[in-house]
Amino acid sequence: MSIPELIIQTWPRLLAGLGLTIQLTIISLIIGGILGLVFGLLSVSKKKAMRAIAVVYVDIVRGTPLIVQAFFIYFGIPAATGIRLDPNLAGIIALSLNAGGYLAEIFRGGIESISKGQMEAARSLGLPYGMAMRKVILPQAVRTMTPALINQCIITLKDTSILSVIGIQELTQTGRLIIANNYQAFQMWTIIAAMYFIIIMILSKISKRIERRMSYGKSSN
The alpha carbon dihedral of 125, 130, 131, 135 has a sign of positive
**Nearest partner of 25 among 206, 171, 180, 193, judged by Cα:** 171
Q: pLDDT category, 68, cuts 50, 70, 90?
A: very high
User: What rounded mean pLDDT belongs to the chain?
Assistant: 89
Q: pLDDT category, 218, cuts 50, 70, 90?
A: low
| Domain boundaries of the chain, sorted by first residue | 3-220
Cα–Cα distance, 184 to 42 (Å, whole number): 50
pTM, 2 dp: 0.87
* Residues 3-220, CATH architecture: Orthogonal Bundle (1.10)
